[in-house]
Amino acid sequence: MDTIAYISVDNASMINAWKDLKFGDEMLLSDGNGDFTKAVSCELDLSDKPIGLGVRSKRYAMHVKDGVVKILN
């Protein structure tokens, strides 16, 4: 069975608020410290921007099969 997961550099409370939008069977995952995002080299440092957003995530799509990343765009 295929799974679609959305990962956000945000806390679990915020992710739970998004779940109220009724995404369906997709998974919403919190990467609060950005550890996963850094591991896949998709971090985006916005600390120096006027509103100081800190480290966030670039937008990307990843295809994983049997635990192995096949495509990362």
pLDDT in tens, 9-44: 877 777 777 777 777 778 888 888 889 999 999 999
* Residue 23 and residue 32 in contact, taking contact as beta carbons nearer than 8 Å: no
Supply the pLDDT for residue 29. Answer: 85
Supply the pLDDT for residue 13. Answer: 78
pLDDT in tens, 41-69: 999 988 887 777 888 899 999 999 998 99
Site of tokens 């006027």 = 50
Count Cβ neighbours within 10 Å for each residue of 31-68 and write b for 16 or more, e otherwise.
Answer: beebebbeeeebbeeeeeeeeeeeebbeeeeeeeeeee
* Residue 8 and residue 14 in contact, taking contact as beta carbons nearer than 8 Å: yes
Supply the pLDDT for residue 1. Answer: 67
Distance CA 19, CA 24 (A): 9
pTM score, whole prediction: 0.74
CATH topology of domain 5-66: Glutaredoxin (3.40.30)
All structural domains of the chain with their residue ranges: 5-66
Residues in the chain: 73
